[in-house]
Amino acid sequence: MTSQSILDDKPKDECGVFGVYGPGLDVARLTYFGLHALQHRGQESAGIAVSGPEGMRIRKRLGLVQTVFDESDLRHLRGDLAVGHTRYSTTGSTLPENAGPMSAESSVGTIVVAHNGNIVNAVQLRQELETEGARFATSTDTEVLTQLIARSPGATIVEKLQAAMPRCVGAFSLCILTAGEIVGVRDLKGIRPLVIGDLDGGAVIASESCALSTIGADIVREVEPGEIVVANDAGITSHRLAGAAGTASCLFEYIYFARPDSLMSGRRVYLTRQRMGEELAREAPAEADVVIPVPDSAIPAAIGYARESGIQFSEGLIKNRYIGRTFIQPDQKLREVGVRLKFSALPEIIGGKRVVLVDDTIVRATTSSLIVDLLRSAGAREVHMRIHAPPIQHPCYLGVDMASRDELIAASKTVEEIQEEIGADSLRYLSLDGLFRSIGSPENGFCTGCLTGRYPVDVGEATGKFGIEANDRSHNGNGVARDRQVILESPGAFRSLAGAGRTEAGG
């Protein structure tokens, strides 16, 4: 738990991707709004690349969407089509050069790739590409797959993808920009989400439907597992990757990651979470006076629990929405101050009451125990914790930063031991069957890796979040090249991508 915030004890979203093919539209501004809608999927960096008559331009840097782009950037990013990316790092550190999207030169021109997911065999692929002469400037799996696509045989981007992607083990939902098309690609199991929309005859591709709604686009459908969707002046065409077999969507999109107003496989995420709360109330009832959520993500499930149990719902915890990361505090007193920075309890709501506290996950249990303490110090007589998902017992290798196995409390402790550690009067989790009943679907369409240890792809080659960096130091002794940091930190400067009129900007 060396660098983890005590108030950041949640699985971390992976990334958000967005793309728009829209001649005549302000594609940079649409992408900017789309990335705002996907901000919850990554807060470390943001980037937009556009293609138009003046060439290809890209701007990316560390920070939230609203701090990365200003009005002059959006005016400068002129074009007919665009892709964008919000990043939370699941491979590689939070460095300027690791910001997405990534670009590479290829036989079909410059390609720019925005990636959500995690390539399990990225270290091996990178070594193979280095043997073929590739040079890398970042420590991300996205650059590995961008180079892999660029160097793969094929006369079109589709042929290149059909050659490249079967070599990638893991999860990927991609938005790719070329000079004249945007391309959406989803891995063979559809682990990470990707949806297509229509905007005034133009095409939009995004991680979640909330980004389509934000810009006024109509949802057309989800990109299918193993599908390549191309939008260009000929319309939208669909192509296949070889080997697609079945679906294994990430369950945690439903539990925690996706925005509650998004639709996933036709299901409104908010309503699905309410049903999780209802199932939890049936499976794990409690004698209590009030049901409160850990805000904001557990609010729908707490409403569901209250409705099913007949116990009054109330917001007994108030969240300070402007607290970002606050780092580990050295002693208990400062840890308590830390949690009070993020949450405050309302004694009038919970004083003297038996409280059901609903949350979506317990990762390390650090925050949970502090919240239980907070409720008790505000007068709660009993605290019964209810989690609207099964215990996370295994790491995720497929695009979610959860914690290593030895940090996951449910990997080594029983439910009773966790209850004792967090100081609750009782602790119950939703069962896997209950979770599937809530989603309204049988298990065989989902990844349950972090809950069961059964992953939909072979994760044997997984090297962890910093695998490329560790490997780079041990093999080359020089770490990743840092020259791009200068490019990315150069205020206002838009830099040429290879090829006339293509420019890249940072910072």
> Looking at beta carbons only, is 157 or 462 nearer to ligand SF4?
462
Contact 176, 112 (CB under 8 A): yes
Closest CA to 384 of 273, 296, 290: 290
Place of tokens 């793969």: 152
CA 488 to chain centre: 23
The least CB distance from residue 116 to ligand SF4, in Å, is 11
CA-wise closest residue to 409 among 363, 446, 373:
363
Question: Quick check: 260 and 300 in contact, CB under 8 A?
Answer: yes
Q: Is 15 a catalytic site residue?
A: yes
Distances (CA, A) of 101 to 47, 87, 111, 388: 6, 9, 10, 34
Give whichever of 103 and 361 is closer to ligand SF4, judged by the CB atom: 361
Residues in contact with 104: Cβ distance below 8 Å, sequence separation at least 6, in sequence order: 110, 111, 113, 143, 146, 147, 149, 150
21 or 252: CB nearest ligand SF4: 252
User: Which of 185, 400 has the CB closer to ligand SF4?
Assistant: 400
- Calculate the alpha carbon distances from 119 to 403, 458, 482 in Å: 17, 11, 22
Q: How far is the CB of 4 from ligand SF4 (least distance, A)?
A: 17
Side-by-side strand order, sheet with 235-240: 102-104, 111-119, 170-177, 182-186, 227-232, 235-240
Contact set with ligand SF4 (CB under 6 A): 191, 250-252, 396, 398, 400, 447-450
Task: Compute the CA torsion angle 368, 374, 376, 377 (nearest 10 deg).
Answer: 160
Q: How far is the CB of 447 from ligand SF4 (least distance, A)?
A: 3
Q: Is 24 exposed, middle or buried (0-12, 13-18, 19+ CB in 10 A)?
A: exposed
Which of 256/313 has CB closer to ligand SF4? 256
- Least CB distance to ligand SF4 at residue 395 (A): 8
Residue closer to ligand SF4 by CB (options 179, 400) is 400
Residues 6+ apart with CB under 8 A from 289: 311, 312, 353, 354, 355
What is the nearest approach in angstroms of ligand SF4 to the Cβ of residue 252?
A: 4
How far is it, in rounded angstroms, from Cα 27 to Cα 62?
21
CA dihedral angle for residue 439, residue 445, residue 446, residue 452, rounded to 10 degrees = 100
The DSSP string of 195-215 is EEEEETTEEEEESSHHHHHHT
Give the integer Cα–Cα distance in Å for 150 and 163.
Answer: 10
- To ligand SF4, the closest distance from the beta carbon of 179 in angstroms equals 33
Number of H helices, E strands in the chain: 19, 26
> Catalytic one among 15, 175, 396, 447?
15
**Distance in Å, CB of 169 to ligand SF4, minimum:** 13
Instruction: Please report how close the Cβ of residue 234 comes to ligand SF4 at its closest, in angstroms.
Output: 34
Q: By three-state DSSP, how is residue 99 classified?
A: coil
CB 175 within 8 A of CB 117: no
- Classify each residue of 425-436 as buried b or exposed e, where b means 16 or more C-beta atoms within 10 Å of its C-beta: bbbbbbebebbb
CA atoms within 13 A on the CB side of 429: 21
Cross-strand partners of 12:
401
CB of 171 to ligand SF4, least distance (A): 6
**Residues 248/249/254/260 CA torsion (nearest 10 deg):** -160
Catalytic residues: 15
